[in-house]
Amino acid sequence: MKKMNHTSFSSKMLVMALLLMVGTTDVSAQGFLKNLKDKAVEKVKEKVTDKVEREVSDAADAVLDGKKKDKKSKDNDASEKESSNKSQKDETPETNTTNAKSDFVRGSKVLFQDELKGEQVGEFPSKWDLMDGNCEVAKIGDTFCLSLPPATTEDEDNWSSVRPLMKDVKNYLPDVFTLEFDYFVYNNSDNCNEIKLCLMSSEDANNLWLDLNTNEGSKSGALRYDARKRADSDDKVDGNCSYKLTPNAWNHVALSFNKRALKVYINGVRVVNVPQMAAPNWFYLESGQKYLGNGVMNRKGTQFTNFVLAAGAVELYDRNKTDLDAVAKAMEETGKFVTNNILFETGKADLKAESMAEIQKVADYMLKNKSVRFEVQGHTDNQGTDKVNDPLSQKRAEAIVAALVKLGVDEWNLRAVGKGSHEPVADNKTEEGRAKNRRVEFIKK
């Protein structure tokens, strides 16, 4: 039960007594009491009014406070949302290919390895062969390494090169391999160097020239590469890029080659990805220590360590796998595969370099079906005369056959036929139609 306030109870009793007195006294007294009653009633009304006003005011304040809180809450929510959106905007990831660029896998069978442990400092490393200049075993901290000397004067241009000491020094790389090593990057701008990794053919042709330069010897490097596409051609692909280095530390270089595909990684990040390159047979390392101008020269030479050459590599990404499946499907369903992606120099039977990807996937199919014979048909549009187009289409078909043979397809299973413009598949009156008619067909026989 709610406890009644003592002051409130007394006031109510007084009012009731006065009201009773009004009914029992004389007229004058009654007039006095009436006035008193009116005042009492008025006072009660004032108190009730004050109470109501206070309650209304409190209720209004509560409502207003609620609105203020709601507004503040909404403002906070809006602010948090804006902050969240900004945060999300700031944290929105860029197109991510870094995972794809960290796919190096060392080959499963080690063919050559040298950490240079146990070697005598100052002597020539026992597992290496000197090709040019000078080389000796050194130590950086506790790490044994192979050291190529620096240039000592502004006029000196000092190049040194070494290769692993193998049984056959120019024929030991398998068709699938990985190669790894570390090289030291100094933290001073006067210790720049130029490092070259060269992958060579058995005929001493340079299949890959990889140039790893330290830019002012600190946090970044500049890489250049020059890769020969095919063993029977001087056609090359080249490029350049920058990459991150860790100064005053060993930085890791890794190379993966799988039949035709080359990948190069610096500190675990892929920086070179060449889909078509001639297979090498051996390699050597070269370092150029020379005066670079503006008072900058290498003063400490170049150091390498932790060499690992292994057979096997990251799984070959066959960019034509879907197309290869398409070749097989077309052969099974129609007995032939038709392509417009084998291109020649205008008016000649010289294959363009970009045609080799298409020829490669056809060769891959043929090598999986070695008992099947194929007719390679060359077709032209109707531009020019038959006197020109017929022999040209024959020569182009023969060029394709020759390319397939170099990729390992048995020549006995191939026959070149030039069809000229005599079997169009589209209207020669339009460029689109003529493009479709300029085609090559591989037909099962």
Greater confidence (63 vs 224) lies with 224
Domain boundaries, the chain: 8-91, 100-311, 321-444
Alpha-carbon span 121 to 127, nearest angstrom: 14
Please tell me the predicted confidence (pLDDT) of residue 443: 96
Over residues 384-435, the pLDDT tens digits come to 899 999 999 999 999 999 999 999 999 999 999 999 999 999 999 887 788 8
End-to-end CA distance of the chain: 109
Q: pTM, whole model, 2 decimals?
A: 0.51
Residues 6+ apart with CB under 8 A from 186: 214, 217, 247, 248, 300
- Identify which of 334, 428, 421 has the alpha carbon closest to the alpha carbon of residue 386: 421
Please tell me the predicted confidence (pLDDT) of residue 246: 84
Q: Which helix (H) or strand (E) holds 225?
A: strand 220-228
Alpha-carbon span 33 to 39, nearest angstrom: 10
- Identify which of 40, 52, 42, 33 has the alpha carbon closest to the alpha carbon of residue 13: 40
Helix axis angle, 356-368 to 386-406, nearest 10° = 60
- Three-state SS for 4? coil
CA 444 to chain CA mean position, Å: 40
Q: Is 192 within 8 Å of 288 (Cβ atoms)?
A: no
Over residues 140-156, the pLDDT tens digits come to 999 999 998 876 655 55
Fold category of 321-444 in CATH: 60s Ribosomal Protein L30; Chain: A; (3.30.1330)
What is the DSSP code string of 146-195?
EEEPPP-STT-EEEEEEEE--SSTTS---SEEEEEEEEEE-SSTT---EE
Instruction: For residues 16-22, give the mean pLDDT.
Output: 47
Over residues 170-220, the pLDDT tens digits come to 999 999 999 999 988 887 655 556 788 999 998 888 889 888 876 554 567
Over residues 84-103, the pLDDT tens digits come to 444 444 443 443 444 456 67
Alpha-carbon span 163 to 237, nearest angstrom: 25
Q: What number of helices (H) and strands (E) belong to the chain? A: 6, 20
Alpha-carbon span 103 to 265, nearest angstrom: 9
Whether the CA torsion 253, 258, 263, 269 is positive or negative: it is negative
Per CATH, 100-311 and 321-444 having the same topology is answered no
Q: Is 253 within 8 Å of 264 (Cβ atoms)?
A: yes
- Three-state SS for 422? coil
| Residue 50: pLDDT band with limits 50, 70, 90 | low
Alpha-carbon span 154 to 291, nearest angstrom: 5
Please tell me the predicted confidence (pLDDT) of residue 393: 95
Q: Which helix (H) or strand (E) holds 56?
A: helix 27-91
List, in sequence order, every beta strand (DSSP E) within 275-332. Answer: 282-293, 296-297, 302-311
CA distances from 301 to 56, 96, 306 (A): 89, 37, 17
Share of residues in the chain with pLDDT > 70 (%): 68
Share of residues in the chain with pLDDT > 90 (%): 37
What is the DSSP code string of 329-354?
HHHHHHSEEEES---B-TTS-PBPGG
- Three-state SS for 356? helix
* Structure-token pair, residue 15: 């009012």
Average pLDDT, the chain: 77
- Identify which of 373, 380, 378 has the alpha carbon closest to the alpha carbon of residue 335: 373
Instruction: For residues 287-294, give the mean pLDDT.
Output: 59
Fold category of 100-311 in CATH: Jelly Rolls (2.60.120)
Alpha-carbon span 45 to 11, nearest angstrom: 13
Please tell me the predicted confidence (pLDDT) of residue 75: 52
